[in-house]
Structures are given as C-alpha cells and as structure tokens.
A and B are shown apart, each in its own frame.
Chain A
C-alpha cells in the first residue's frame, strides 16, 4: 500500500471489490480450461492404462501402473506406421504445393495486368463460400476414372491449389509497396525474379500463416481421404483411426492412436500459435 499516492475515499473498498472480481474471473477461466483440456488428459491417461479397463472411482487421472502396452499393440496390430507416413507425405506435399501455387497466383492477381484478371479472381472468390461436401460424389468418380483411387495423387493433387490461400497472399502482396517491384525492374529483373527475389521474402509472415493452416487442415481432414482411399496401406492417420473403431475394440488402443494423431498438431499449435490465430482472424475479418 505504500507509495501509492494519496489515499482516496473508498479506495480500499474499491480495491477489495476489484480483487474479488479478478479472482472470480480467473476461477471461471480455469473452470473452462478444465473442460477444454480435461478430455485430452483423459485421452492420454486412458492410453496408458490396460486396454479394456475403464476409469475407476474416484477418477484418478494418473494411471496406477502406467504402461506403453497399448502403443506396442497399436504398432503390432494395425498399419499405423504406414498411416503416419501417409499423413506426413500428404500434409507436407500439399503444404509445399499450396505455398507455391497460391503465391504464384496471388502475385499475378496483385500485380499482373492481363485480360480477365478481375473476372477470374471474382469467379474464384465466388466459390469460396460454396460448400465443398456437395461435390464429393462426382469428385470421387473423376478421381476413380483417372485411376487415382488409393494413390497419393488422389490425396494430394486436388488440394494442390487453394482459393483461400491465393486470396490470402494476394491481399498480403497488395500491402507491399510497388516501389520495391519498380526498383527491381530498373535493375533488370523479370516478372519471375521480382516474385522470387523481392515479394516472396517480404511475404514470409503470410506464407507461414498459410503453411500452418494448410498443414493442420490436411493432417486433420477426414471425409475427403475417407472416400478416395479403400486399401489400409493408403489410409491417412485420421481415417485409419476411424477403421480402428470397428476393428480394434479396446479403448486403450484407440486412445493410444488418438494420442499419436493429436501430438503433431499439438506441437505445431504450440510453436505456430500466433500464425494460426492470425490466419483465422484474417479469414473472418475479410469474410
């Protein structure tokens, strides 16, 4: 209380009320945090327990005798090693391809002067809100006609470009002053060199946002990989998990699989959090 200046009337009452309010807010914040994190703790806890056991009472989150048996069983009985590989191959390829195609197209829409530029751009934007699940049947039939069912091509190529990503990068390129382009132009740079040497390095934050969102989206996607793959060896992790529900009855093994699927996205979120939240907020503000 010392060094706080002149004591005012009612100050102590006001402070006490403020302290109680803050305490209540923190209590509420913690309570909600328990409901969002609790299920994940349950998942990890259950993955370390005997396969067919349920929670004992009163609920103890830390298993009495933690063991990795469920994880061992998971790798022995399912193709989860292959599923993890597939998910990584698909998610990294799609991310890399989208960064390339979206930045190229975003550059053209931001800087290019060619007939039909605005028309093409607005046609693209028009499909942004169109629900994509509506066309899963014809999309599957197109891919099966191409002979792509159960191939990486089916999992990767249709997602190699993204309208949202193109829009995101176009908007970012528009914020970069044209003076940079002009300076490079005077130095004799061509269109591609301006893109590669000037704009791409400046767009790193937008590229990081797109990369994070794309990787997470691909790693987590479910309906699309479910319909374009039928063989166990071409399943991605999320779809593999779903087939386990039917084939592997034990909750412990299922929770072990869930934990393994969850871990990479958790780590990415931990380190790239700023970009995830920025990207979401951006997509919202622009609508």
Chain B
C-alpha cells in the first residue's frame, strides 16, 4: 500500500511539473526572442565551430579537392612534426618568461599608483595607454626601436651603458625574449588595473588592526595584502597564462616566426598550416592540441592554487 501511494505520489509530482513547464512556456516564450540573436550566433559560430573542428581533425583538406577521411593520421603526425615540437618549446618558454614577470611588474605598478598623491590618475592613465593600442601599432613601433643597426634606438641606449649593439629580432637567441619584453611592456597596464581593483577591495580596517598589533610594512604586505589578494592572483595568473598560450601578433608582424622558427608559436604555426599551406585538417588537429594544453595547464594551476591555500 505504502509503495503504491508513493508511486502515485511521484506520478503526480511529475505531471504537476510537466503542467508547470507547459505553463511557464506559454507564459514565458517571449523571452526566447530576447536571447535569440545570442543563441543563434552561439550555435553557428561557437558550438558548430567546435564540432567542425573535431570533424576536420580526422580529415585531410586543402580547400581545393574533397575532404578525405584519414582517421588518426593527423594525430600521428603531431608526434613526428619537428617544427611543431619547436613551436611547443617556444610557446612554453614564452609562457614562462611572460606570466610571472608581467604579474609581478604589474603588482608593483599597482602598489605604486595605489597611493593618495596629486596627479596619480594621470600616471594610471599613462601606464594604461599601450593596452588600448592595437598590437599592429605596438609591433611596428617596436620594430622601429629594435632595428638591428648600430644607430637603432635600443642599440643607442645599450651603447650609452657600454654594451655592444645587438641584432634583437634577427638574433636567434634574442628574438623571443625581445618579443616577451615588448609584450610585458604592452600588457602590464591591464594587469595593473586588475591588481588595483583587488588592492582597493581590501578593507582599510585590516591594515589598521595589523598596525595596532605592531606589524611593519613588509608584514602588512605578507600577512594582509597577499592573502586578501588571493582571488585576484588566481584570476590574473590564469588569464595571463591563457593569453600567453595564444600569442600571435608579434611573430606575424615582426619576425614571420623566424629566425629559423625561433619565434614560431602554437597559434602562429596553426595560422601557417591553415592559411599559408592550406592544410585545414592538420591545422585543426594542432588547434585541438593547443586547447588540450591550455585546459591541462589551467587545471594544474587551479589545483596548485588550491593546495597553496593551506599555506596562507
């Protein structure tokens, strides 16, 4: 008896829920019109892109003939591709050289401009200027500054401190570090604003309480600022890293991925395969690899940041 009534009861609930759904649909269907443009562009340009990406990775297609199903050939090629290996190494090197320094430099900037001083808004704006400028413009400027001639601007300043002139972007060892420095310079204002928002969300009372307890300048930073900035830190490291894995503009504008592939990044290699060699299938497979790397790196970082929670 009891079991039966239970089943009956559950049936009623389901029916009631269905009636509720029909009613909510009848009452609320107009709302779908409001989100329709977003849903349509999402389905066509995002969701379908992903499905198509996976489909393409199992095919060989140069845009001219028909798509040819090749099974896992593209994936096998990933393992044998020496240039891809170089691109992977370059990309990881770049991520390592970029993420931590840009986060540190921008935190320093943020602390510097987080003071009540006359004209501080002017300085904040000035530091932010490269962020609102296109990478195409920034790359051209830096190409001019880094001209590999003794009378180039960067070399002029090196000369002032007695260092012999450098080939910069043409030098196989210096090309990627040069691009990294340029990228740190051009994005530090962005992270500065994020750090600043984090710093300003820390209640002043915490500092006062710590000061009453006799904390010095360093202790305030170590035991109040650092733990309170945790969410900001996680966010900044995450987006800096995801962005760094996708670096493309500078190698395209400045070096053409050279010299001898020294600045060929993952995205530059994808562009090269797809839009220069017209290997759409293989370019898609490299794209999937890039996505997998970013995903794994994000997960590792999240895990690491959770673990470090116990320290703070």
**A287 at the binding interface (Cβ < 8 Å):** yes
**A193 at the binding interface (Cβ < 8 Å):** no
**A168 at the binding interface (Cβ < 8 Å):** no
- The secondary-structure label for the interface of chain A is helix
- A268 to B129 Cα, complex, angstroms: 11
Number of A-B contacts (CB under 8 A): 264
Partner of A137, one of B28, B249, B274: B274
Taking a contact as CB atoms under 8 Å apart, the answer to whether A239 and B29 are in contact is: no
Taking a contact as CB atoms under 8 Å apart, the answer to whether B135 and A112 are in contact is: no
Taking a contact as CB atoms under 8 Å apart, the answer to whether B45 and A245 are in contact is: no
Which residue among A36, A59, A242, A261 has the maximum number of chain B CB atoms within 10 Å of its CB?
A36
Residues of A within 8 A of B115 (CB): 25
If the complex has contacts A115-B25, A131-B294, A138-B53, are A105 and B136 also in contact, measured as CB distance less than 8 A? no
**B49 at the binding interface (Cβ < 8 Å):** yes
Closest to B291 in A: A134
Partner of A55, one of B50, B117, B133, B151: B151
Q: Number of A residues contacting the other chain (C-beta, 8 Å)?
A: 91
Taking a contact as CB atoms under 8 Å apart, the answer to whether B21 and A39 are in contact is: no
Binds B, one of A63-71, A203-211, A276-284: A276-284
Binds A, one of B5-13, B86-94, B187-195, B204-212: B187-195
**A176 at the binding interface (Cβ < 8 Å):** no
Taking a contact as CB atoms under 8 Å apart, the answer to whether A101 and B38 are in contact is: yes
Residues of B within 8 A of A109 (CB): 35
**B3 at the binding interface (Cβ < 8 Å):** no
Task: State the Cβ distance, B195 to closest chain A Cβ, in Å.
Answer: 9
- A239 to B275 Cα, complex, angstroms: 15
Taking a contact as CB atoms under 8 Å apart, the answer to whether A255 and B132 are in contact is: no
Task: State the Cβ distance, B247 to closest chain A Cβ, in Å.
Answer: 10
Taking a contact as CB atoms under 8 Å apart, the answer to whether B35 and A25 are in contact is: no
**B34 at the binding interface (Cβ < 8 Å):** yes
- A105 to B152 Cα, complex, angstroms: 52
Task: State the Cβ distance, A105 to closest chain B Cβ, in Å.
Answer: 4
Taking a contact as CB atoms under 8 Å apart, the answer to whether B153 and A115 are in contact is: no
**A129 at the binding interface (Cβ < 8 Å):** yes
**A220 at the binding interface (Cβ < 8 Å):** yes
A248-264 vs B, CB cutoff 8 Å, 1 = contact: the mask equals: 00010011011001100
Residues of B within 8 A of A262 (CB): 133-134, 137
Partner of A281, one of B113, B193, B270: B193
Taking a contact as CB atoms under 8 Å apart, the answer to whether A105 and B34 are in contact is: yes
Taking a contact as CB atoms under 8 Å apart, the answer to whether B21 and A284 are in contact is: no
Residues 101-155 (chain A) with a chain B CB within 8 angstroms: 101-102, 104-105, 107-109, 112-115, 117, 120, 124, 127, 129-131, 133-142, 144
Taking a contact as CB atoms under 8 Å apart, the answer to whether A157 and B41 are in contact is: yes
Task: State the Cβ distance, B165 to closest chain A Cβ, in Å.
Answer: 13
**A46 at the binding interface (Cβ < 8 Å):** yes
If the complex has contacts A54-B149, A114-B29, are A281 and B194 also in contact, measured as CB distance less than 8 A? yes
Taking a contact as CB atoms under 8 Å apart, the answer to whether A137 and B53 are in contact is: yes
- A157 to B41 Cα, complex, angstroms: 8
Taking a contact as CB atoms under 8 Å apart, the answer to whether A219 and B52 are in contact is: no
Binds B, one of A8-16, A74-82, A158-166, A180-188: A158-166
Which residue among A28, A54, A120, A142 has the maximum number of chain B CB atoms within 10 Å of its CB?
A54
Closest to A127 in B: B46
- A136 to B252 Cα, complex, angstroms: 16
Taking a contact as CB atoms under 8 Å apart, the answer to whether A57 and B27 are in contact is: no
Taking a contact as CB atoms under 8 Å apart, the answer to whether B144 and A42 are in contact is: yes
- A102 to B35 Cα, complex, angstroms: 8
Residues of A within 8 A of B39 (CB): 120
Residues of B within 8 A of A265 (CB): 132-134
Residues 6-64 (chain A) with a chain B CB within 8 angstroms: 22, 25-26, 28-29, 32-33, 35-37, 39-40, 42-43, 46, 54-57, 59
Taking a contact as CB atoms under 8 Å apart, the answer to whether B28 and A114 are in contact is: yes
A selection of 10 A-B contacts at a CB cut-off of 8 Å is: A42-B144, A57-B156, A104-B37, A108-B31, A117-B31, A136-B270, A141-B56, A216-B132, A262-B133, A284-B197
Given contacts A220-B132, A238-B135, A284-B193, 13 further A-B pairs with CB under 8 A are: A29-B123, A100-B37, A104-B34, A136-B274, A137-B287, A138-B53, A220-B135, A220-B136, A226-B252, A258-B137, A269-B129, A277-B124, A284-B198
Which 4 A-B pairs give the minimum distances between C-beta atoms? A114-B28, A220-B134, A112-B31, A108-B34
